[in-house]
Amino acid sequence: KNEVEQSPQNLTAQEGEFITINCSYSVGISALHWLQQHPGGGIVSLFMLSSGKKKHGRLIATINIQEKHSSLHITASHPRDSAVYICAVSLRAGGTSYGKLTFGQGTILTVHP
Amino acid sequence: KAGVTQTPRYLIKTRGQQVTLSCSPISGHRSVSWYQQTPGQGLQFLFEYFSETQRNKGNFPGRFSGRQFSNSRSEMNVSTLELGDSALYLCASSDGAYTGELFFGEGSRLTVL
């Protein structure tokens, strides 16, 4: 079993729909990252969370440390949101190790106009 | 402020050769992390450097090595290339602090023939 599990693996939506991507992890973490990858490869960091909730524009990320679960929400989805969304965790360890990430398998999101 | 720069962007090598990839972090960032992305294994952590010291290492064979220079630029080297080393190699920089967000480069796409 992977240490980081994402669901769903594929998600298709119509423009304007509310989208939720889930991430569960099985180990203690120091931080959780939500990343976005467009075709061509470049990765953009959307959020870094250690507790609670963060919001950037139409994107909202939440984390429940006790339940080892995080969600990424996209409100009023748009075709330009089509990308792969990746959850990654920094495992809890001695010292600072925030570049050492364990990744989920990614969620491929397609938003149709 | 310039972003993270990776060179070369694309390269083709043959089995048995070696390759060196370069990553220039955002000015002022002291941490550089390297990741490998393949269709089969997804994203995997290679190593992290902070102030010229390797701070963490992933589960890769000794053929994969790296270093960081005093100006924080980092290189990774893969010796005795195998077909399975074909991948997108990504680096990310951060200030190395607890709340340090990761900034990714566009990646170097390596094809081994």
Q: How far apart are CA B57 and CA B50, in angstroms?
A: 12
Please list the pLDDT of chain A residue by residue as tens digits (113 residues): 678 999 999 999 999 999 999 999 988 888 899 999 998 778 999 999 989 999 999 999 999 999 999 999 999 999 999 999 999 998 765 555 567 889 999 999 999 99
Peptide bond into A8 cis (omega under 30): yes
Is the CB of A100 less than 8 angstroms away from the CB of B43? no
Within 8 A of A43 by CB-CB distance, chain B residues are 90, 92, 104, 107
| Two structure tokens written together for B60 | 């890769």
Is the CB of A97 less than 8 angstroms away from the CB of B48? yes
Tell me the pLDDT tens digit for each residue of B48-101: 999 999 988 999 999 999 999 999 999 999 999 999 999 999 999 988 765 678
Q: Among all chains, which residue has been given the structure tokens 């993270």?
A: B4
Beta-carbon contacts of A75 under 8 Å, excluding residues fewer than 6 positions away, are A18, A58, A59, A60
Q: How far apart are CA A26 and CA A16, in angstroms?
A: 33
